[in-house]
Amino acid sequence: MTGRLSGRTALVTGAAQGIGKAIATRLAADGAKVVVSDINAEGGKELATAIGGVAIAADISDPVAVKSLFEGIAAKAGGIDIVVNNASIVPFIPWDEVDLAHWQRIIDVNLTGTFLVTRAATDMMRQQKKQGRVISISSNTFFAGTPNMAAYVAAKGGVIGLTRALATELGKYGITVNALTPGLVESDGVKVSPHNEAFGFVEMLQAMPGKGQPEHIADVVAFLASDDARWITGQTINVDAGMVRH
């Protein structure tokens, strides 16, 4: 679209479908070489082929897999300029059914996975003396306190906290760290989940009518990844048609 990311390499996790796929496609259109990572290896390969990127499958909750992911990035892409932490599990489970196993799995993927990827990415950026971008997909459920998602809301709140802390620590290296909080988005995963029934209610709460689309999120990520956002860090940008106003 713009070429404003030409010469840069971006990693997008959870990129085989939905919001991650839209982000990877947009960053590639803006000129970035995109490393498509997903636990769904075949889906990742299909997208990478379509956008001229590189596919490296990984379970981001597994430290060994994340180490292998970044070894692959070093070998196939030479380094990294942009990381988009998008991979997540979105549950629908009432509080009375939340047990430790469920809690731990959601935290492992949605928060610890973000830590593992960001740890490796920012280490690589600093080794290569790159003024990088860290962009994490949180959720407006953190602000809304959405029911049936307690572990998810807690994990996504942790992503916002991590974003603020890392912006403070990494600013001196020229690395910006920001988060997005999408509202309900008509993604592949949502369409086959109970959340698909909530669009009517959510739309009543929005300032603008319509259903959120993956491309709405990708557009903002592309901005944050670019030089246009070089003076923005430590921020959480709400992208939900004004459902949450703060």
What is the set of active-site residues? 152
SS (H, E, C) the chain: CCCCCCCCEEEEECCCCHHHHHHHHHHHHCCCEEEEECCCHHHHHHHHHHHCCEECCCCCCCHHHHHHHHHHHHHHCCCCCEEEECCCCCCCCCHHHCCHHHHHHHHHHHHHHHHHHHHHHHHHHHHCCCCCEEEEECCCHHHHCCCCCHHHHHHHHHHHHHHHHHHHHHHHHCCEEEEEEECCECCHHHHCCHHHHHHHHHHHHCCCCCCECHHHHHHHHHHHHCHHHCCCCCCEEEECCCCCCC
Measure the CA–CA gap between 234 and 108, rounded to whole angstroms.
23
Question: Would you state the structure tokens that stand for residue 56, as one six-digit string?
Answer: 């490296």
